[in-house]
Each structure stands twice: as C-alpha cells, then as structure tokens.
Amino acid sequence: MNALNLKKGASSKSAYNLQNLAGDHIETHTLAVMVDNEAGVLARVIGLFAGRGYNIESLTVAEVDHEGRRSRITVVTTGTPAVIEQIKAQLGRLVPVYNVHDLTIEGPAVERELALIKVAGAGEKRVEAMRIADVFRAHVVDSTLESFVFEITGAPSKIDAFTELVRPLGMIEIARTGVAAITRGM
Amino acid sequence: MKTQMTGADIVIQALKDQGVDTVFGYPGGAMLPIYDAIFQQNDIRHILVRHEQGATHAAEGYARSTGKPGVVMVTSGPGVTNTVTGMTDALLDSIPMIVLSAQVPTPMIGTDAFQEADTVGITRPCTKHNWLVKDTDELAATIHKAFHVATSGRPGPVLVDIPKDVQFAEGRYETPQKADLGHYKPQLKGDIAAITELAEMIERAKRPIIYSGGGVINSGPAASMLLRELAEATNIPVTSTLMGLGAYPAKGKHWLGMLGMHGMYEANMAMHDCDLMINIGARFDDRITGRIDAFSPESKKVHIDIDPSSVNKIIRVDLPIIGDVGHVIEALLKIWKSRGRKTQEAAIGKWWSQIDEWRAVKCLNYTPSSSVIKPQYAMERLEALTKTHNRYVTTEVGQHQMWAAQFLGFNDPNRWMTSGGLGTMGYGLPASVGVQIAHPDALVINVAGEASFLMNMQEMGTAIQYRLPVKQFIVNNERLGMVRQWQDLLHGSRHSHSWSESLPDFVKMAEAFGAKGIRCSDPDKLDDAIQEMLDFDGPVIFDCRVEKHENCFPMIPSGKPHNEMLLGDDSTENAIDAAGATLV
Ligand SMILES: Cc1ncc(C[n+]2csc(CCOP(=O)(O)OP(=O)(O)O)c2C)c(N)n1
Ligand SMILES: [Mg+2]
C-alpha cells in the first residue's frame, strides 16, 4: 500500500527528527526568563516554543519591576538535555530577553503554585473536605451553605495531592496559577 | 536641527542619519504620508519595484553585495504580507534588512479595517525582532533600534510597523547617538582560553579542515582576509558552504570547493576523514551534514559563531567559541603565532596527498555533447567569458543554482548572492536588481532556471525603468529540474508536475519589457551569444536552451554520509533508502 515503505509520523516532538537522540533521557527544567514588558513579548516566547516544537508544562508571567518595566516569565519545560540547552539559547536570542536562568541547574530552588478550588457538597463530605484542607493548610476564602472555595499554595505536587483527595468530595472547579520559582539562598 | 516634525519626516530623517541612500518600495494608502515626504527630498533614492517580494530580495541583493543593510518600504495589508517570503529568506541567510510597513490608523487597529493585517503577529516568526509604533515620539528611537538589531550580532530582518496617524502626527526626533538602543548587545570577542585551546588543537592536528560559512562574509571583508591568512599560514585546506563562497578565493591554493549535498567530492571526503574540523561562521545545516550519526566520525569539532543558539543545535562540538568570527580569527592568529607557529607539517603534507587523490576523481566531470548545450558547459563558458569582469552573480533556486556554485569561481566576498537557507525560487532576478543598483558599473548576472525566473519576472520592469543592465542567464531545461531529479531518485521517475509547460517566448518577453532577448541552443554558437549579451549595454534575457534531462552531480543522497556520494555515472537506483526519503 505504501510503496516507499515509509514510517508515517516518525517523530512526535518535531517535524524533523534529525537528531539521533535515542537513549537520551527526558528532563524537566524550570527556567526564569527576565524580559522587557513590551507588547507581544509573551507571544514571542510562546511562539518560539510552538514554532520549534518545544514543550510547555507551565508558564507564568507578571511584571516584577514596574519602573524598569521588566517581567519575569517562569516556564517549566521538558526535553532531552540537548533540547533544554537549545531552548535556553533560543530564548536568550530574543531581543527583549535580558537573561535566562535554569533554576533546575542553578538551584536548589523553591517552586510554588497557587490554586483556587471550589468544592460543593453538604454533610459528612463537607466536613471531610474541611479536615483535609486543614491538613494541607488550605484556606477557605469563600463559603456558602453549599460550597467552599479553598486557596492552597505549595509545590505543584502538593496541589495535585490535595485535588486528588477533594475531587471525590465534590470538587467542581479549579484554577491554578502555574509555577513561580526562585533559587534558595543568595 | 529642529526636533519636532511629522512622523513621516522622522522616518526620512532617521534613514538619512542611518546613512541610507537607497530604499526599495511600493506605495499604498496607509503609506501615503511617508511617500509624500519621500517626494519632497533628494537624499534618499526610492526604487519602485513591481511586487513587494521583489523589494525584499532586491534589498537582500543590495545588502549582501555591499555589507550595508537593505531597506524596504511597503504599505499595510497585502503590501506587507507580500514581504513575508523575503523576510524569512533574510532570516535564514542572516541578511540585515529593515522593513518599514504602514499600518491602518491606531484607532482602527483591530476593527478589520480596509487593508488591515496583524503585521507584527504575521511577521514575528520571520523577523529577528519587530515593533508596532503607536506614538510618534517613539518613532525615531524605534527606527534606530531597528537598525541596531538588524546589523549587530547575527544580522537579520526587522520590521517597524507605522500606523498612518503616527505618520501624520508631530513628534520628537532623536538622533541615533541620543536614542536608547536597549540592552541588546551580542558578544563580539571570543573567550581567550578557548581560542588558545584551538591554537593547541591546530598544533596537534594531522588532518585538519576549515569549514567556513556565510558568517565570514557577514563579519566583513576583514574576516575574509584573516581566513586567507589563517589557511596560508597553517596550510589547512578550506571548504565552504554555499553561503560562504568567495570568503576564501576559488583560485586559492587551499581551496577544496564547496561542500555539502552537491559539493565537491574532495571537500566532502575531507570533512568525513578529518581529525580537526574548524567551523567558522557556518551552522551545520542539514544540506551540509548528511546523515548526522555518521558525520565526520573521527574529528574534534570546533565551532566559531556569533549566535550561541547555533552551537550544539545539530552537531555536538568539542569546543564552542562564541564571538564575531573576524575577532576570533584575529586573536587565534596572534596566539598561534606567539606560540611559535607550530603545525604537524609532515602529517598535513600527507593529508594533502590524500586530498589530491580525491581531487583526481574529477567529480564535476560530465558527458560532453556537440549537439546540445549541457548545462555544465553553459556554466563553464559563462565562467570563462566573465571571470575577468568586475562581476556579481545572483541565482534562482534549482539545479542551475548548484551548477553555478560548482562551476563559477568566486575570489572575493560579497560577489555571490543566492537563497541558501530558504531556497526561494524568484530570488535571483530581484536580487540582481538590488545588486546592480548598488554597483551600477559592474557586470551583474542572474543565473536562472526558467521556472524560477517566472516567479518574479515582473521585476524586469524595474530593471528597465532604472536602466539596470542586469543579465538574466536562463538555463532553460523546460523542467523543474531539481524536482525532477528528486523524482528520478526516489519516486520511480514519476515526473509529477515537474514540467515547465506553456513557457513564454523569452526573447519576445524581453522585447515586450524593452530589454534585449537572445536565444541559443547550439554549443558552437554559445560563446558568441554570451559575448553578445556582455556587449549589450542594457538588460538582457538570455534563453539558453540546455539538455533537458541532465541531473546535478555529485550528490550526497539524503540520509547518507559524506563518504557515500553519488558521482555523475553512478547508478541512481535505490540511492536513497526509506529513511532518507522522509527527509527534505
Ligand atoms: C518558491 C518555491 N517553490 C517551490 C520550490 C521547490 N523547488 C525547488 S527547485 C524547483 C525547480 C526549479 O526549476 P527551475 O527554476 O527551472 O530550475 P532547474 O532546477 O530546472 O535548474 C522547485 C519547484 C522552491 N524552492 N521555491
Ligand atoms: Mg528548469
């Protein structure tokens, strides 16, 4: 049927599977990218990831220096060590980028994420949700007779664990900020 | 100087202060204020092209042949979308280019206004950087910044989008000296410890090779001179990418010829067998490397490049040196000399004997003919009759481009303009227009394929209007020859849509434009016909009818390593395996 006997879709990461990366393992890295807060800067960063076939696990951005109009983008990405190196070099090449820090290498780093989680329910389930929230140090930021909104901060894995536990108790909505990260010490 | 002026006048003043004397453009509604300002001054010459893509390639030809940035002006919407191919071309070949585009007035942005396009969105991936200017006070600084970004570091195209109301409004003008250029500042000087390590590697190398690229041309003429000095002093052979031709002279003693897919046998074999590879301003493009995991297996690899993202992108290197290649070679020569100018002379002598054996294969050999013009023969005669001229060559894309690269010799940088990275058919004619504008008295030849030529043939009108004596040398095989060649190699010679049918009469076309047309199909008459072209003081379209079925060799079939090249009389059956066929 396929006269040339070609394998379709030989590569999933990129259209051009030129690099022989067989055996190379996939790593997760957290990058902190300082940029000029100018129009379109986020589109540039996202476009770079999309255009070159890199992964984005999480991305957060906010202006951190209002006077200097600089924003900090925290991006969690995955790839082989060679791909991670390329991602950093490609980011560094963008004109509005000041610097790129690989917190996974420069670490140890603190990573935090915030989530707002709405749980609906009554009776025993409601009490149980409160109890779990207590253990995870989640705060109630809104409550009605039928629902709570919890606010929880922590490493992404902690938020994952919390949502696993409250999902069966009536979790109906969740909003997560994505990761903000910073190195420990000086 | 007065500092308050209209946005349109700011554009003109900024261009003047940047030393621009020529722009290539095409007007339209949103661009009218700037065109009005152009009308009222005489310092900047505006070249009216016939299609905005033509403006971009003309600007590329201008830039590549002068070392100065090319400047393009287009209107909003379709004007700017027509420049996308040219900007992508300039991005891949690292050509400095500034595109000034008009935009609908700021209050109308986002309303799907007439001739509105999301210009910064569309051109973000095909520029080094781009800007939408919403405030006339920021216009001057943005244009100066655009020139800075386009020309510094690894050069590339940039775009400044200027809404019509910003052109009309008054604002503050700032000179380039005063303007804030931001924090963009690429590293020029290489790390001395790394350069010293390279000097040591050169001292130890028994089979070294220099693999140079377009970066040497971009660094400026001084870098080409330093490259020559390095090769002469160390006796290291030099090969180059398509983009780097001319940096080391074709007549130079250390020249191996171009490398890569259609490069010279000796160059590719030497790349494969070397023990030290010094990449100077090239980027391990897939047209160069062939199969990655079989690429030059025994060599230590050094990569000198101004762009950190080029390093370790495709090939892991042993020693990266980030910096401008001119600076780095200069420092390298100094260090290597101060250490006593040592090389493994005897071993390198043996290396040269090996290279001479490869040379003896005579990989460019072809079967001559007395009845039809072989395309290789056409190139040989063109070379013989023009090589002593003050000559610039542009090309289109296809087999003719590779034959031109193989058979024409370039002894200086900035003399060879071709679309390497993007492979844009339609590049050569407008590029020749841009080159001729910059060098009015030179001989400018576009080696074209008949199919490529049709893609931007409207620019003959520009050549006529500005009296540009460009010579369009069409290697007419009535085929999309390169496509046909690949179909021969890996699609069972099923020539799906690779015929150039219903071709125009190129001689009549020349005459219709007001140029001279020459046709030749007889090898015996070719010299006279070429001479007639050269003697004519004006633009010529030369319809050189060549053998239709010639394939371009030597060739590294995709997916194969350097030492498995196909030569002209090899069988092409099963040359490319299934894995190779999936590659481009
Ligand atoms: C704009 C564009 N479209 C398609 C291609 C694919 N392509 C590469 S070479 C070629 C054929 C070129 O034919 P011609 O200009 O006659 O040159 P020849 O190969 O015959 O010398 C084509 C279609 C391309 N490079 N550029
Ligand atoms: Mg052709």
Q: So what's the pLDDT on residue A7? A: 36
Q: Model confidence over B394-419: pLDDT tens digits?
A: 999 999 999 999 999 999 999 999 99
B341 pLDDT higher than 70: yes
Closest-approach residue (CA) in chain B for A81: B312
Q: Model confidence over B343-382: pLDDT tens digits?
A: 999 999 999 999 999 999 999 999 999 999 999 999 999 9
B328 pLDDT higher than 60: yes
Closest-CA residue to B35 (of B71, B4, B75, B5) = B75
Task: Give the end-to-end CA distance of chain A in Å, rounded to a whole number.
Answer: 63
What is the ipTM, given to two decimal places?
0.90
Q: So what's the pLDDT on residue A17? A: 40
Give contacts of B307 with chain A, Cβ < 8 Å.
Answer: 93
Tell if the pTM clears 0.90, that is, is over it: yes
Q: So what's the pLDDT on residue A89? A: 97
Compute φ and ψ for B405, nearest 5 degrees: -65, -35
Closest-approach residue (CA) in chain B for A98: B183
Categorize the per-residue pLDDT at B1 as very low, low, confident or very high, splitting at 50, 70 and 90.
low
For chain A, domains (ranges, CATH) are 13-102 (3.30.70.260), 109-183 (3.30.70.1150)
Q: So what's the pLDDT on residue B559? A: 84
Tell me what the mean pLDDT of segment B284-290 comes to.
92
CA Rg value for chain A: 21
Categorize the per-residue pLDDT at B557 as very low, low, confident or very high, splitting at 50, 70 and 90.
confident
Q: How far apart are CA B55 and CA B307, in angstroms?
A: 27
CB contact under 8 A, B578 and A7: yes
Q: Are A77 and A32 in contact (CB under 8 A)?
A: no
Q: Report the catalytic residues of B.
A: 52, 114-115, 164, 482
Q: Model confidence over B468-488: pLDDT tens digits?
A: 999 999 999 999 999 999 999
Q: So what's the pLDDT on residue B583? A: 75
Kindly give the confidence (pLDDT) of every residue in chain A, 186 residues in length, as a single tens digit, with 9 standing for 90 and above. 333 333 333 333 333 344 444 458 999 999 999 999 999 999 999 999 999 999 999 999 999 999 999 999 999 999 999 999 999 999 999 999 999 999 999 989 999 999 999 999 989 999 999 999 999 999 999 999 999 999 999 999 999 999 999 999 999 999 999 999 999 998
Q: So what's the pLDDT on residue B179? A: 85
Separation of CA A138 and ligand 1 centre (Å): 63
In angstroms, the separation between the Cα of residue A5 and the nearest Cα of chain B is: 6
Tell me what the mean pLDDT of segment B128-149 comes to.
98
Q: So what's the pLDDT on residue B574? A: 62
**Read out DSSP for B168-193?**
HSEEE---TTTS---S-----SPPHH
Q: How far apart are CA B237 and CA A34, in angstroms?
A: 44
DSSP code at position B373: B
Which among B149, B309, B581 has CB closest to A89? B309
Q: So what's the pLDDT on residue B180? A: 86
Mutate to test the pocket of ligand 1, among B480, B488, B501, B545 (most ligand atoms within 8 A of CB): B480
**Read out DSSP for A68-122?**
TTEEEEEEEEEE-HHHHHHHHHHHHHSTTEEEEEEHHHH--EEEEEEEEEEEE--
- Ligand 1 site, residue B396, Cβ cutoff 6 A: yes
Which among B124, B316, B584 has CB closest to A44? B124
Closest-approach residue (CA) in chain A for B314: A19
Q: So what's the pLDDT on residue A20? A: 46
CB contact under 8 A, A36 and B182: yes
Residue A17's CB is within 10 A of a number of other CB atoms, namely 15
Q: So what's the pLDDT on residue B181? A: 85
Portion of chain B with pLDDT greater than 70, in percent: 98
CB contact under 8 A, B120 and A40: yes
Q: So what's the pLDDT on residue A107? A: 80
Categorize the per-residue pLDDT at B490 as very low, low, confident or very high, splitting at 50, 70 and 90.
confident
Chains A and B form CB pairs within 8 A to the count of 60
Portion of chain B with pLDDT greater than 90, in percent: 92
CB contact under 8 A, B312 and A7: no
Q: How far apart are CA B485 and CA B226, in angstroms?
A: 39
Q: So what's the pLDDT on residue B321? A: 98
